[in-house]
């Protein structure tokens, strides 16, 4: 068929179908009208949006809008709505405020970054992990605690944990738990005496360790006197993961890797091994406690980190430890109630409820002295780790360079590219990389 | 003599076909493998993120059931509904934008036509998320970054720039002969009438193509949803939900549900694709041929 004939056909088709087309036209007009209405409506909604803030209501009661961010488990019905209960308890203690709570979801690991990105549009009160504290202070997003509130916090928490929330001697949050990792083991395999030494454990059963995860691997290096930024706060001191003290650890790790009873825990393989019975001990934190309890039941044991035998000498593994805290937004419109709420959420009452509802290990010294809490295995192990077998995870900016080199070392040893022949050179390379930001 | 030649030609073809099919079969297995694995994982009864066997030891529907029943921590049904709503709205809007822009650039001569096309070409070279910080602050200034308006904000984000992606539809419209338009003008059509009475009915393939691409974009997007939703968990989309399931706290108990969720989100795309597939192939092969 020629081009013209085809076109003619098509044109006549248009005429034949005129009726339905008219209908389409009507529909389209109606659509256009609906669209217009929608645009107008949204304009009205936009115009109706007004800022929040506080205003004094009748009888001296101050109306306050507080936005609170917490992980979703703290707000879920299944795990008891700790946040809602605590906030309501706070509201009933403070009749001078008429508080409207707005809840948002942000877990401790990411909250600080989110607040720092845009403090004005963020929560008044939020929960964050202390390794992000410089993100907050650099953005001037966290309020400083002072006066009676600071005294209160210092009175009820250990010095180590308060220090973990201080930058240049200013306090930036109310601690509510410690944040570190330790050891979970099968009691039917290891005795309480065994778990004090990694070597004793390796003789009795399979142990899995997150060897390629740089939050865990430095435990061995730190054990033998390697340091990060002096005492952890002195950026100019740099990282000291070099020299003989580090090389012997690299050699030790190569041998450890060849131990048939040692398995690398990566991508959840440790947990899977625990589940199918091929692994008897793993290193992780309170977040996995529920799953492990389910697997091991009454055989679940929890302990602080063991020692390991380095050329005849017992060395104590040292974990990175930090804290989780409740912070207050520096741009909050309702600073006083926000600070009071933060202090309440970190108080003994709220920590106790948190522990009862979600097994969040408390850090309030009065609570820890109570026998029913002190006798909890998990609480004991976590606090023992924090007090005895850990260092405060440095949060100076240079720490950002310390993760990848250590991870690469772990992977190199696993893949057997780091050997006894090149361990000295590889250790030096790791140390150099940790001290460099990769640019200069 | 002639016969042996035929036989050998036949045999050669058989051998060639066998080789080709074996290679294709191997490639097909490699390509389908990850998808199959996700589907198998979604039915896996053993918990945890790590397994030592390829095939699950036992199968269950519980992962799917949990996605829709265990909603207090990660509310999958609501995320699914949010995403569907946002994707459908932005799909309608951006399809309209794309088709309208393409039609104008194909049919109407105006001074800015060439400069606009060049500009669109250059802008198209930059990744969309480059502007996300600016977009976030603009939306915040408009008051769209909190509450129910987040959905509107996301729809605006996904459909606002659609007019820049006109190239394929314009190419298609270019192949529709102008003579048809001219005939319609003689019959008294306005430009708008030509667009929806003549051009659109002739362009089903490219309309389908545009609908597909503009639905998939918002349906699978993570970056803008994450930047705009922040802590407003009520307005999370499935992409954020699935990502959250892989966080340290959830991965052990939610991993198989994550796989189930991944299977579920592929369903609307699969349905849309299967339904529109024949048009899709037509759409890519050009329009009216003389």
Check pLDDT > 80 for residue A14: no
Check CB contact of A105 with chain B, cutoff 8 Å: yes
Question: Rounded mean pLDDT of B119-135?
Answer: 86
Tokens of B81: 């509904």
Between B176 and B73, whose confidence is greater?
B176
Check CB contact of A376 with chain B, cutoff 8 Å: no
On chain A, the residues whose CB falls within 8 A of the CB of B46 are 275
pLDDT at residue A39, rounded to an integer: 47
Question: Rounded mean pLDDT of A349-378?
Answer: 90
pLDDT confidence tier of residue B73, bands split at 50, 70 and 90:
confident
pLDDT at residue B95, rounded to an integer: 94
How far apart, in whole angstroms, are the C-alpha atoms of residue B19 and residue B33?
Answer: 21
Check pLDDT > 60 for residue B285: no
pLDDT in tens, B171-218: 999 999 999 999 999 999 999 999 988 899 888 888 888 988 899 999
How far apart, in whole angstroms, are the C-alpha atoms of residue A307 and residue A309?
Answer: 7
Assembly ipTM = 0.74
On chain A, the residues whose CB falls within 8 A of the CB of B197 are 14, 21, 24
Q: Above pLDDT 70, what percent of chain A?
A: 86
Strand A174-180 to A319-328 pairing: antiparallel
Check pLDDT > 60 for residue A32: no
Check CB contact of A43 with chain B, cutoff 8 Å: no
Query: Residue A104 and residue B230: Cβ atoms within 8 Å?
Result: yes
pLDDT at residue B5, rounded to an integer: 67
pLDDT in tens, B108-117: 889 999 999 9
In CATH, the architecture of A57-172+322-388 is: 3-Layer(aba) Sandwich (3.40)
pLDDT at residue A215, rounded to an integer: 93
Question: Rounded mean pLDDT of A107-120?
Answer: 89
| Closest-approach residue (CA) in chain B for A71 | B73
Question: Rounded mean pLDDT of B2-6?
Answer: 65
Q: Which residue in the block uniquely carries the two structure tokens 């309501």?
A: A88
User: Same CATH fold, A181-318+392-434 and A57-172+322-388?
Assistant: yes
pLDDT in tens, A397-415: 888 889 999 999 999 999 9
Check pLDDT > 50 for residue A16: no
CATH class of B71-284: mainly alpha
Q: Range with the lowest mean pLDDT among A177-181, A320-324, B228-232? A: B228-232
Measured on CA atoms in the order A95, A98, A100, A106, is the torsion positive or negative? Answer: negative
Check pLDDT > 90 for residue B283: no
Contact between residue A322 and residue A178 where contact means Cβ atoms under 8 Å apart: yes
Check pLDDT > 50 for residue A22: no
Nearest to A267 among B50, B145, B198 (CB): B50
| Averaged confidence pLDDT in chain A | 85
pLDDT confidence tier of residue B282, bands split at 50, 70 and 90:
low
pLDDT at residue A174, rounded to an integer: 94
pLDDT at residue A70, rounded to an integer: 92
Question: Rounded mean pLDDT of A260-286?
Answer: 92
| Averaged confidence pLDDT in chain B | 87
Contact between residue A330 and residue A119 where contact means Cβ atoms under 8 Å apart: yes
Question: Rounded mean pLDDT of A93-105?
Answer: 91
| Closest-approach residue (CA) in chain B for A48 | B143
How far apart, in whole angstroms, are the C-alpha atoms of residue A378 and residue A287?
Answer: 11
CATH code, residues A181-318+392-434 = 3.40.190.10
Check pLDDT > 90 for residue A191: yes
Domain edges within chain A:
57-172+322-388, 181-318+392-434
pLDDT at residue A54, rounded to an integer: 46
Among A250, A332, A386, CA closest to A68: A332
Check pLDDT > 60 for residue A223: yes
Check CB contact of A336 with chain B, cutoff 8 Å: no
Contact between residue A271 and residue A291 where contact means Cβ atoms under 8 Å apart: yes
How far apart, in whole angstroms, are the C-alpha atoms of residue A244 and residue A439?
Answer: 27
On chain B, the residues whose CB falls within 8 A of the CB of A107 are 247, 249
Q: Above pLDDT 90, what percent of chain A?
A: 61
pLDDT at residue B1, rounded to an integer: 54
């Amino acid at each position: 068929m020629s081009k013209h004939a085809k076109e003619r056909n098509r044109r006549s088709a248009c005429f034949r179908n005129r009726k339905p087309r008219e209908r389409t036209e009507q529909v389209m007009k109606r659509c256009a009208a609906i669209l217009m209405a929608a645009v107008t409506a949204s304009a009205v909604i936009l115009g109706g949006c007004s800022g929040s803030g506080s205003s004094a209501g009748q009888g001296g009661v101050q109306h306050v809008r507080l936005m609170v961010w917490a992980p979703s488990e703290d707000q879920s019905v299944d795990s008891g709505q700790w946040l809602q209960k605590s906030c309501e308890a706070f509201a009933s203690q403070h009749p001078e405020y008429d508080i409207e709570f707005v809840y948002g979801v942000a877990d401790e690991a990411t909250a600080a970054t989110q607040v720092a990105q845009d403090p004005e549009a963020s929560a008044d009160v939020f929960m964050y992990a202390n390794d992000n504290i410089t993100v907050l202070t650099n953005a001037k997003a966290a309020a400083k605690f002072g006066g009676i509130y600071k005294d209160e916090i210092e009175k009820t928490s250990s010095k180590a944990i308060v220090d973990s929330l201080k930058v240049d001697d200013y306090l930036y949050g109310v601690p509510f738990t410690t944040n570190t990792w330790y050891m979970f083991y099968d009691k039917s395999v290891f005795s309480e005496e065994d778990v004090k030494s990694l070597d004793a454990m390796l003789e009795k059963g399979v142990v899995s360790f997150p060897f390629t995860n740089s939050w865990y691997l430095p435990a061995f290096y730190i054990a033998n006197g390697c340091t990060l930024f002096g005492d952890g706060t002195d950026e100019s001191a740099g990282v000291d993961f070099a020299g003989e003290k580090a090389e012997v650890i690299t050699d030790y790790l190569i041998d450890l890797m060849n131990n048939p009873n040692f398995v690398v825990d990566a991508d959840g393989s440790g947990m899977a091994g625990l589940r199918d019975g091929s692994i008897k001990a793993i290193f992780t934190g309170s977040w996995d406690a529920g799953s492990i309890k389910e697997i091991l039941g009454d055989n679940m044991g929890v302990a602080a980190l063991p020692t390991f035998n380095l050329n005849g000498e017992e060395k104590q593994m040292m974990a990175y430890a930090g804290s989780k805290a409740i912070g207050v937004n520096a741009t909050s419109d309702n600073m006083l109630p926000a600070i009071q709420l933060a202090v309440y959420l970190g108080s003994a009452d709220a920590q106790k409820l948190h522990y009862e509802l979600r097994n969040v290990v408390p850090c309030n010294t009065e609570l820890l002295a109570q026998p029913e809490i002190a006798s909890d295995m998990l609480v004991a192990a976590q606090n023992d780790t924090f007090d005895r077998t850990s260092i405060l995870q440095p949060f100076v900016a240079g720490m950002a360079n310390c993760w990848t080199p250590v991870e690469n070392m772990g992977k190199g040893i696993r893949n057997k590219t780091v050997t006894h022949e090149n361990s000295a050179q590889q250790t030096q390379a790791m140390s150099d990389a940790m001290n460099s930001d990769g640019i200069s | 003599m002639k016969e042996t030649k035929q036989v050998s030609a036949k045999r050669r073809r058989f051998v060639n076909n066998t080789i080709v099919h074996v290679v294709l079969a191997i490639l097909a297995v490699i390509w389908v493998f990850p998808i199959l694995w996700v589907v198998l994982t979604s039915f896996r009864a053993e918990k945890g993120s790590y397994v030592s066997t390829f095939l699950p030891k036992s199968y269950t529907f519980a992962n799917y059931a949990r996605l829709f029943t265990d909603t207090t921590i990660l509310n999958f049904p609501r995320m699914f509904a949010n995403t569907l709503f946002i994707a459908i709205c932005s799909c309608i809007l951006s399809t309209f934008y794309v088709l309208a822009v393409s039609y104008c650039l194909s049919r109407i001569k105006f001074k800015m036509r060439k400069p606009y096309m060049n500009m669109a070409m250059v802008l198209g070279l930059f990744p969309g998320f480059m502007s996300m910080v600016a977009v976030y602050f603009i939306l915040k200034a408009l008051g769209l970054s909190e509450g129910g308006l987040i959905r509107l904000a996301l729809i605006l984000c996904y459909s606002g720039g659609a007019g820049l992606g006109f190239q394929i539809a314009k190419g298609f419209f270019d192949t529709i002969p102008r003579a048809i338009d001219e005939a319609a003008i003689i019959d008294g059509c306005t430009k708008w009438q030509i667009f929806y009475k003549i051009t659109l009915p002739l362009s089903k393939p490219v309309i389908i193509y545009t609908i597909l691409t503009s639905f998939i974009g918002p349906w699978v997007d993570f970056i803008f949803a994450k930047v705009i939703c922040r802590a407003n968990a009520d307005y999370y989309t499935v992409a954020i939900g699935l990502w959250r399931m892989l966080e340290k706290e959830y991965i052990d108990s939610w991993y198989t549900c994550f796989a189930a969720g991944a299977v579920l989100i592929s369903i609307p795309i699969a349905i849309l694709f299967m339904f529109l597939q024949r048009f899709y192939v037509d759409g890519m092969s050009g329009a009216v041929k003389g």
